Structure 1
Amino acid sequence: MNTCIHCGAELKLRPNWHVRKTIQTLNGPLFVAGRAKICTNAECSHCGTRYYASQVWALSLPDSSYGLDVHAYIGWRHEHDQRQLVEIQRELNEKGIEINERNVGKLYRQYLALLGASSEEVQKELDAIVAKHGGLIIGVDALQPEGHGSLLYVLYEILSGTVVSAIQLEPPNEQELTNWLLTYQKYPVLGSVTDGEERIIAALRAVWPTAPRQRCQEHFLGNLADEVLGYDTELRQQMRADLGGLPKSSDFPDDSAFF
C-alpha cells in the first residue's frame, strides 16, 4: 500500500520495524520483517494512521516463531492421517524443525481456532476497523504443506494485521471458498489482495462483487523471477562456455614480462 485510503496522499515509511523475527517453516528458517507506513498529510482526517506490511501476516501468526505451513502440516497429519502429536513432533524434527510435543499441541489448538471461524475478540477488532476506516482491506493466501494435496487458505485483515480465519480443503473448489467467505459478507470491503489464484478471485468476486482486487506484489514479483531464472541460468551457462577458454588471472605472466 503506497497511498492513504482516505486522502490519497503518499504514505511515508516509518524507520522502525513493527515485526522482525525468524520463523521455522517446512522449507527451512525464514527471516521476516515489516515496516509500517504512515499518513503525514495534516489535512487528512486520518493523519498519523499506520498501515502495516500485510504479507507478514500470511506467513506466521503474531507472536509465533512457526510458519502457518507448520500449523497446516500438524493439523492435516493429525486430523486426516490420524497421527499422534508425538509422531508429528518426530516428523517435524526430522525435517529440521525444532519443536517439542507440547508446542505441537499448542500449534494444533491454534490450527483448530483458525478453522473454527473468527472469535468474538477478532470480530470486535474487525468492527473497530470498519468504524475507523469505513471498511476492511482483506488478504487471502494459500499454503500447501509439503507432500500433501490439501491447501490451507488464510484470511487476514491488512489494515490491522488481524488473522481472521482459515479453511483447509482437498481438493480446493470455488464453492467451498465462497461459502467460507460468506461468513464475513456483512463487513464492507474496501479492497482485497490475493496471490492470483483464480478460485480465490472468483470467490471474492462472488461475495464482494464491487470491491477492487489487487494481486500481491510479492507473489507477482516471485512469478516474474521464476520466468527470468531460466533465462538467467541459460545465459550464465553460455557465458561460461564462451569465456571458459580465457586464462585465469593467476595464469597471466608477471607484470615484469611486459616491460
Structure 2
Amino acid sequence: MEKRPRHRPERSYPEAKRQIFVSELDTCVHCGAELKLRPNWHMSKTVQTLQGPLFLAGRAKMCTNAECSHCGTRYYASQVWLLSLPESSYGLDVLAYIGWRHEHDQRQLVEIQRELNQKGIEINERNVGKLYRQYLALLGATGEEIRKKLDATVEKQSGLIFGVDALQPEGHGSLLYVLYEILSGTVVSAIQLEAPNEKDLANWLKAYQDYPVWAGLSDGEERIIAALRAVWPNAPRQRCQEHFLGNLADEVLANDTELRKQMRVDLGGLPKISDFPEDPPLF
C-alpha cells in the first residue's frame, strides 16, 4: 500500500501572473505630506483564481514628516484583499463561485469540488467546505471583531477610508461586492447580488454609516459611486488608481496589438540576420 505524505506537498506555480499593488494613498491623511514608498513588500503570496494562478504582492507607503503626529505610520496596499482574503491561498472569485453554486444552484460540495478541479483549481472537498464557511463569514462580517478593528483604526487615525469593489466569478451573472477599510487593510463586509441598484448597495453600507470617514474609494461604476455619496455625502470620493490605469491600458492594448501585427507584416520581408558572424576579411 502506497504511503501518503504526512503534509500536503508544496504547490508551485512558476508561470503565475504577477500583480504588484501599491498603497492607494499619495499623501498623509493627517499632515498632507507626500508619502514615501517602502522598498519591501509588506505581503506576498500565490493564490489560485478561476483565471489561473496569481502571484500577489503589496508595497506600503509611510509618512516621513518629522513634524507629523503620525510620522512613521505605514499605509498598506489594501487592494490585495479584494483578490484574496488574508492567510488564504484561493481567490475571492473562488469563494464567490462556491457560495453561489451551493446557495443558489443547490450543488453539493463534492460536486463543486469536481467543477473546480475541471477548471484547474487544486482543491479537495474539505477545503471547499472551509471556503464555503469563509464565504458565509464574509457575507455576515458585521460582528464584534470587525467593529473592534474599525474602532481601533478610528482611535489611531481619527477616521476611516472605505473602498468598495465588485468582482464577477465566471459562470453566472451575480456580483460579489466587497467593502474594505484602507488604513487598516481590513476586509469589512461583502454582499452577493444580481443586478443591484443604488438603494441595494446603500442599504448594505448603512451598517457602517456612523463611522467618521475621510474618503471613499471605488472604480467608475455609477451604482457604487451613488451609494457612497448617499451614505457618506460629506466624504470626498476618489477613483481607484488601479482601476483607472487598468481602464487606460485596455484602451491602449487594442491599438498596441494592432500596431504589433502591422509591424510583423512590415518587417516580415526583411532578410534574416545570420546567427553566426561572417568571417573577417583576410586583408
TM-score normalised over the length of structure 1: 0.95
- The DSSP-based 3-state class of the residue aligned with 1:247 is coil
Within 5 Å, which residues of 2 pair with 1:57-72?
57-72=81-96
Cα shift readout 1:51-106 (whole Å, capped 9, x = no counterpart): 00121111111111111111100000000000000110111111111111111111
Distance 1:93 1:234 in 2: 36
Q: Hey, what's the Cα distance between the residues in 2 that align with 1:22 and 1:129? A: 28
Pick from 229, 240, 250 the counterpart of residue 264 of structure 2. Answer: 240
Are the counterparts in 2 of residues 189 and 208 from structure 1 also a CA contact under 8 Å?
yes
Match of residue 193 from structure 1: 217
Runs of 4+ in 1 over 3 A off after TM superposition: 251-257
Task: Look up the equivalent residue of 1:87 and give its one-letter code.
Answer: E
Structure 1 residue 169 and structure 2 residue 193: aligned?
A: yes
State the Cα deviation string for residues 152-199 of structure 1 (Å, max 9, x = none). Answer: 000000000110000000122211101000111011110111121111
SS of the residue 1:183 aligns to: helix
Give the SS at the match of 2:30: coil
Secondary structure of residue in 2 paired with 1:33: strand
Q: How many residues align?
A: 259
| 1:207-234 Cα deviation digits (max 9, x unpaired) | 0111111111111111111111111111
Q: For structure 2, which runs of at least 5 residues remain unmatched after alignment?
A: 1-24
Distance in 2, Cα, partners of 1:20 & 1:170: 32
Q: Which amino acid aligns with 1:148?
A: H
Task: Find the counterpart in structure 1 of residue 252 from structure 2.
Answer: 228
Task: Tell me how far apart the structure 1 counterparts of residues 277 and 78 of structure 2 sit (CA, whole Å).
Answer: 57
Deviates more, 1:9-18 or 1:240-249: 9-18
Q: Of 20, 38, 49, which residue of structure 2 is paired with 1:25?
A: 49
Residue 167 of structure 2 corresponds to 143
Among 147, 154, 172, the alignment partner of 1:130 is 154
Residue 129 of structure 2 is aligned with which of 80, 105, 116? 105
SS at match of 1:186: coil
1:13 aligned onto 2:37:
yes
Among candidates 207, 212, 215, match of residue 236 of structure 2: 212
**How far is 1:253 from its partner?**
9.8
CA distance in 1, matches of 2:275, 2:69: 69
Which residue of structure 2 lines up, in the alignment, with residue 35 of structure 1? 59
Q: Are positions 1:156 and 2:180 aligned together?
A: yes
CA distance in 1, matches of 2:177, 2:246: 19
> What is the deviation of 1:21?
0.3
Q: Within 5 Å, which residues of 2 pair with 1:84-95? A: 84-95=108-119
Report the alpha carbon displacement of residue 138 of structure 1 after superposing the two structures with TM.
Answer: 0.8
1:190–1:211 CA contact under 8 A, matched in 2:
yes
Hey, what does 1:76 align to over in structure 2?
100
Aligned partners of 2:138 and 2:77: how far apart in 1?
Answer: 21
Partner residue in 1 for 2:13: none
What is the letter of the counterpart of residue 196 of structure 1?
G
Residue 68 of structure 2 aligns to which amino acid in structure 1? C
> Which amino acid counterpart does residue 39 of structure 1 have in structure 2?
C
Q: Which runs of 5+ in 1 are unaligned?
A: none
Give the superposed CA RMSD: 1.7
Please state how far the C-alpha of 1:133 moved relative to its aligned partner: 1.3
Q: 8 Å contact 1:23–1:60 — kept in the other structure?
A: yes
